């Protein structure tokens, strides 16, 4: 027991010496108090090996030593901190440069860039529900009951009986905008959509779209084409190559599909574009007479256009990502 008491006194002196010269107080704490190899901790672990009589003396002595040394260490920390604040050469109010803490997801980056473009041209940024009704997802978009797009093979229903589903496109927000706002209307929305799709390099059951809608007097197809050309040049540069072609969409008439020359192969054909040289990036057109009418807008007074962009494909082309699954399945590699 006398040997332990001598060790206790020696530790006290050793700690005081170490404390005076220590430059890293955290390292000093670990040297004496770490759970695995701390000097004081090791002494405390030996306590159970002593007799009951010795424990009565050594127990309080060791615990007292532990508290005494911890208090000294804490006092030294406070003292050094105060000295730092009092140092006239250090301005503690000077703002430090923020450390990098990661980066935005590629899809979020593209959405912000797109919002920047459309805000400049007077568009409002809108949001809407992902859980939708058949009325806004289909009916008001000139998609009657029994239309192939409403088939259960494509649509993920929450309740088929009540007509509640996961929206299959951001056009559902378009029908809400047309119903709840009065012209002139100029709005865009980016959001997630859901369909019963087979997962592959360019398609998924979960994907992003970016919807735009404009309604006013005298809106024509030329306004739509000019907007889409200006947008793609903004996002991809003046050298971007687009192809416009007629395409059928129930909610617009006439409809126009837009393809962009594949930036992975420069149009020569590859796996990403399925060896076509072009990738369809959006569907668009003049809003159908019936759609305007069902949403409460007089189609004899107002015309408008709408577009729905495949946001994931734009992200892939912008950042050189050759598989859509890499965007949302962290750590998986597809060849």
Q: What is the pLDDT of residue 95?
A: 81
Structure tokens at 130: 């992902």
Same domain, 143 and 36: no
Q: What is the pLDDT of residue 236?
A: 92
Residue 175: Cβ within 10 Å count:
25
Nearest to 228 by CA among 260, 202, 185: 260
Q: What is the CATH number of the domain that holds 148?
A: 3.30.930.10
Establish if 98 belongs to a structural domain.
no
Element (H, E) at 284: strand 278-287
Model confidence, pTM: 0.65
- The CA distance from 250 to 256, in Å, is 12
pLDDT in tens, 193-217: 998 877 766 666 788 999 999 999 9
Nearest to 280 by CA among 209, 179, 328, 217: 209
Which of 86, 119, 144 marks a domain boundary?
86
- Which residues partner with 304 through β-bridges? 215
- Which residues partner with 164 through β-bridges? 133, 159
Contact 162, 132 (CB under 8 A): no
Residue 126 C-beta-side C-alpha neighbours within 13 Å: 27
Establish if 137 belongs to a structural domain.
yes
Q: What is the pLDDT of residue 214?
A: 97
264: exposed, middle or buried (C-beta count within 10 Å: 0-12, 13-18, 19+)?
Answer: middle
Same domain, 82 and 123: no
Evaluate the CA torsion angle 34, 39, 41, 45 in order and state its sign: positive
Establish if 335 belongs to a structural domain.
no
Which of 57, 86, 115 marks a domain boundary?
86
Contact 114, 211 (CB under 8 A): no
- The CA distance from 253 to 308, in Å, is 14
Same domain, 284 and 219: yes
- The CA distance from 268 to 236, in Å, is 19
Which of 51, 86, 121 marks a domain boundary?
86
Same domain, 42 and 118: no
Edge to edge, what strands does the sheet with 131-133 contain?
131-133, 164-166, 157-159
Evaluate the CA torsion angle 143, 147, 148, 153 in order and state its sign: positive
- Which residues partner with 187 through β-bridges? 124, 213
Same domain, 121 and 74: no
> How, if at all, do strands 164-166 and 157-159 pair?
antiparallel
Same domain, 217 and 173: yes
Same domain, 115 and 80: no
Q: What is the CA radius of gyration of the chain?
A: 34
Residue-wise DSSP of 214-228: EEETT--HHHHHHHH
Q: What are phi and psi of 216, to 5 degrees?
A: -170, 180
Nearest to 171 by CA among 144, 193, 150: 193
Q: What is the pLDDT of residue 334?
A: 47
Domain of 68, in residue numbers: 2-86
Structure tokens at 231: 């947008």
Q: What is the pLDDT of residue 179?
A: 94
Helix locations, 87-170, DSSP H: 106-120, 134-137
Same domain, 42 and 184: no
Q: Consecutive sets of 10 residues in the chain, 335 residues long: mean pLDDT of each?
A: 75 88 88 86 83 81 87 89 74 76 87 95 94 92 77 80 91 93 95 82 79 96 96 93 92 93 89 88 94 94 95 89 79 49
What residues contact 296, with CB distance under 8 A and at least 6 apart? 178, 179
Q: What is the pLDDT of residue 202?
A: 61
Q: What is the pLDDT of residue 201?
A: 63
Same domain, 128 and 217: yes
Establish if 92 belongs to a structural domain.
no
Q: What is the pLDDT of residue 290?
A: 92
Structural domain total, the chain: 2
Same domain, 14 and 147: no
Q: What is the DSSP letter of 270?
A: -
Q: What is the pLDDT of residue 39?
A: 87
């Amino acid at each position: 027991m006398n040997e332990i008491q001598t060790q206790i006194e020696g530790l006290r002196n050793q700690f005081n010496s170490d404390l005076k010269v220590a430059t890293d107080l955290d390292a000093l704490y670990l040297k004496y108090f770490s759970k695995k190899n701390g000097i004081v901790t090791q002494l405390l672990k030996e306590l159970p090996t002593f007799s009951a009589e010795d424990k009565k003396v050594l127990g309080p002595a060791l615990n007292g030593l532990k508290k005494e040394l911890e208090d000294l260490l804490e006092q030294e920390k406070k003292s050094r901190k105060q000295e730092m604040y009092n140092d006239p050469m250090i301005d503690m109010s000077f703002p430090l440069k923020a450390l990098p803490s990661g980066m935005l997801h590629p899809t979020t980056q593209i959405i912000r860039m797109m919002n920047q473009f459309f805000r400049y041209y007077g568009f409002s940024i809108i949001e809407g529900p992902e859980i939708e009704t058949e009325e806004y997802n289909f009916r008001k978009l000139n998609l009657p009951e029994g239309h192939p797009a409403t088939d259960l093979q494509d649509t993920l229903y929450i309740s088929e009986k009540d007509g509640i589903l996961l929206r299959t496109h951001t056009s559902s927000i378009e029908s809400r905008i047309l119903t709840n706002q009065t012209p002139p209307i100029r709005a865009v929305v980016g959001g997630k959509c859901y369909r019963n799709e087979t997962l592959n390099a360019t398609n998924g059951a979960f994907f992003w779209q970016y919807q735009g809608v404009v309604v006013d007097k005298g809106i024509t197809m030329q306004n739509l084409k000019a907007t889409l050309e200006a947008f793609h040049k903004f996002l991809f540069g003046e050298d971007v190559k687009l192809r416009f072609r007629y395409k059928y969409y129930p909610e617009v008439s006439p409809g126009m599909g837009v393809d962009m020359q594949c930036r992975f192969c420069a149009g020569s054909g590859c796996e990403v574009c399925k060896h076509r040289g072009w990738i369809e990036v959006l569907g668009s057109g003049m809003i159908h007479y019936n759609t305007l009418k069902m949403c409460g807008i007089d189609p004899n007074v107002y015309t408008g256009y709408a577009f729905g962009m495949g946001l994931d494909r734009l992200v892939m082309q912008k950042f050189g990502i050759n598989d859509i699954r890499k965007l949302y399945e962290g750590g998986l590699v597809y060849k």
